[in-house]
Structure 1
């Protein structure tokens, strides 16, 4: 039996509202586990009122629904921003460090500035109060809104990368470790948009590179 989708609410935002922090930014990322392309982070400040929105965790929506919801997020948000960390930054900082850096860049672009944050378990070092519960993209309207912006923007980029680097199927699997992606890597080798510090890519370098050692936060999925 399929479990019903979780509906977001304002519980985490209300905790900040009660303390007088009304501009609460939701933060979420897309593409953290992919082998190619950027990790994309969005930050969104919604109006500080307990309205109901059609915003959901991006994984609960179809591609067409995500586009519609993304347009609605941009329409109603007090502020929003999307930033990317590309493979060279991921290889330099590891995936967690690069995700944090992109998140901080997105937050710095918000105007008005956020007074508090809710993130999807992304424990950022910031000078405002932060809530970082797991699965926040399914629980918080603000984080759900950010998840949709991050996902739609990253999908758009992966379509462009697919055209620039044909044969890998990036438009279909979005850079994740699908069997077709593995087969394409074996046939074509590593491209300029692959994350060379990730174990499945590092193992396919010719010759294998000793430059990337496993570090905290580094993705090592085979």
Structure 2
């Protein structure tokens, strides 16, 4: 379509809503030739979206640079590992190891804490489609109390690795070293700088959040459906009122006098 001058603004917006953002670039010059102010605003809006997408494409390219360098040096399968739930007062620590196809290239992959709930859930589905294999590991509150949170996290990571059927040639891990015969590289802030580690953080976060939703149904007083076991004021108030549940970490809540 070369001209939109015979279309109403509503019809134009409806038409644009059917298009993929990749089509905007070809559309913008025609929109700019339309003299109507409303159409000019639409053109500027689409330009901003195109620019934002280009920035995101470049960010993902940078995030994948670590993996790309290893692929270029002959590494075939890279496993990313990350954890969620080291800080909460309740629930398990959960880890994910994921081995992605080298061509996985999902926009908006990032540290799970920087991604909205809706986007995390969408990305989780997309990343699992891209996975050659993945596995979840978890250590419950009793295990955390027994081992301490650092060792419990490492155990969850090695447990998840042991259940993979597709063994990676290399592990990229967020800020930890674990006991494994597989070559590994520990990356500080890896969930924000490595695409594969970020992918693992998203899958682990979605898994743990879903688990805490289930616990919320059993213990609704504590707000697990939105605090995910973290020590919010509401959660701590409920602890003082109702006492700890079987999923609370005794070694954590003793720090608040319980």
Fold shared per TM-score above 0.5: yes
The answer to whether 1:98 aligns with 2:152 is yes
More contact order relative to length (CA 8 Å, sep ≥ 6):
1
Residue 189 of structure 1 is aligned with which of 220, 228, 243?
A: 243
Hey, what's the Cα distance between the residues in 1 that align with 2:216 and 2:59? Answer: 34
Structure number having the greater helix percentage:
2
Rounded to whole Å, the distance in 1 between the matches of 2:137 and 2:95 is 5
- Aligned partners of 2:165 and 2:74: how far apart in 1? 18
- What TM-score, normalized by structure 2, do the two folds share? 0.73
Residue 144 of structure 1 corresponds to 198
- Is contact 1:7–1:56 with CA below 8 Å preserved after alignment? no
Match status 1:53 vs 2:106: yes
Q: Is the 8 A contact 2:174 2:191 kept in 1?
A: yes
Distance 1:176 1:140 in 2: 26
Q: Which residue in the other structure is 2:171 paired with?
A: 117
User: What does the per-residue CA deviation read over 1:69-115, in whole Å, with 9 as the maximum and x for residues that have no partner?
Assistant: 00001111111111211001111110011111111111112221111
What 5-or-longer segments of structure 1 have no aligned partner? 206-222
- TM-score, length-normalised on structure 1? 0.84
In 2: Cα distance, 1:100 partner to 1:19 partner = 28
Structure 2 Cα separation of the partners of residues 152 and 201 of structure 1:
28
Counterpart check, 1:42 vs 2:96: yes
Q: How far did residue 16 of structure 1 move?
A: 3.3
Residue deviations 1:122-147, cap 9 Å, x none?
21121122111111111111111101
1:189 touches 1:204 (CA, 8 Å); kept in 2?
no
Cα 1:141–1:43 shift into 2, 3 Å: same
1:30 aligns with 2:73: no
Alignment of 1:7 with 2:44, yes or no, is no
Contact 1:29 1:41 (C-alpha < 8 Å) held by counterparts: yes
Name the structure 1 match of 2:133. Answer: 79
**Secondary structure class of the residue paired with 2:251:** coil
For 2:186, the equivalent position in structure 1 comes to 132
Note the C-alpha offset of 1:162.
Answer: 0.9
Matches within 5 A, 1:156-175: 156-175=210-229
Structure 1 stretches of at least 4 aligned residues deviating more than 4 Å after TM superposition:
none
1:17 matched to 2:76: no
In structure 1, the residue matched to 2:35 is none
The CA deviation at 1:166 is: 2.1
Deviation at 1:11, TM superposition (A): 2.7
Shift of residue 10, structure 1, vs aligned partner: 2.1
- Distance in 2, matches of 1:27 and 1:143, equals 6
8 Å Cα contact 2:106/2:127 also seen in 1: no
* Cα distance in structure 2, aligned partners of 1:91 and 1:7: 39
Is residue 2:109 matched to residue 1:66? no
Q: In the TM superposition, what is the alpha-carbon distance from 1:161 to its structure 2 partner?
A: 0.6
Q: Matched residue of 1:197: which SS?
A: helix
Alignment partner of 1:131: what SS? strand
